[in-house]
Chain A
Amino acid sequence: EDKVVQSPLSLVVHEGDTVTLNCSYEVTNFRSLLWYKQEKKAPTFLFMLTSSGIEKKSGRLSSILDKKELFSILNITATQTGDSAVYLCAVKAGTASKLTFGTGTRLQVTL
């Protein structure tokens, strides 16, 4: 059974801090890993990673994948209160389109 584990489960930081969120996975025939930000109901797409060692970057957010060690990290620099959300990691495997999600990391950024 495919498995995705995120850590930490929750995190409280001060505005301006840098955070690193972790996602490890155990799947058969890995295809891609996706990161989402969920503030209220709808997960918002952040990144899709398929190749090891290639950093994806968008503003203060960046992510990288290590297919040998089976994990990904999501970095957020100079955090702002608007970054407060649940960050979800999901994996696609084989030929299926199904996403297997981790439990998420709840990030709270305080003033």
Chain B
Amino acid sequence: SAVISQKPSRDICQRGTSLTIQCQVDSQVTMMFWYRQQPGQSLTLIATANQGSEATYESGFVIDKFPISRPNLTFSTLTVSNMSPEDSSIYLCSVEDPLGEDTQYFGPGTRLTVL
């Protein structure tokens, strides 16, 4: 398995501002994933981040709104830009099993509230 940490754990932000969420993994992984879980909803993939290349975004998500960095094999950031109340969600970082199993593990999540 993988041990994943995220910062911040939670935040309350004003509309129009931006928040950067950090994700750290205890082992090197090729792909890191960012998911969003809106209140009462299930998880939706925002983008996949590979080290050394541009992130791949899912339909409905764009780089200008959710820029992602992946500077090395253990770290990634997701920025939620120009926030509105509709961005209030739990944001989750995820990685595949570093040992190659087809399993995916999740970080503790960041609960974002936008006022």
Contacts and interface: CB of A to CB of B under 8 A. Distances in A.
A98 B101 contact: no
A94 to B, nearest CB: 12
Give chain B's interface secondary structure class.
strand
A97 B1 contact: no
Interface in A68-111: 88, 90, 92, 97-99, 101-104
Given A41-B109, A48-B102, A97 B48 contact: yes
| Interface SS of chain A | strand
Contacts of A44: 106
Given A41-B90, A92-B102, A99 B109 contact: no
Contact of A99 (B1, B90, B104): B104
B92 A41 contact: yes
Nearest to B95: A97
A43 interface: yes
A16 B91 CA distance: 34
Interface residues of B, number: 25
A41 B102 contact: no
Contacts of A31: 102
Bin chain A's interface residue count.
20 to 34
Given A97-B33, A97-B48, A97-B96, A45 B103 contact: yes
Given A32-B102, A34-B103, 20 more contacts: A36-B106, A41-B90, A41-B108, A41-B109, A41-B111, A42-B106, A42-B107, A42-B109, A45-B1, A45-B103, A48-B101, A48-B102, A50-B102, A88-B43, A97-B31, A97-B104, A98-B48, A99-B45, A102-B42, A103-B41
Interface of B: 1, 31, 33, 41-45, 48, 58, 90, 92, 94, 96, 101-111
26 contacts: A32-B102, A34-B103, A36-B106, A41-B90, A41-B109, A41-B110, A42-B92, A42-B107, A42-B109, A43-B43, A43-B106, A45-B104, A45-B105, A45-B106, A48-B103, A50-B102, A90-B43, A90-B104, A97-B33, A97-B48, A97-B104, A98-B48, A99-B45, A101-B42, A102-B42, A104-B42
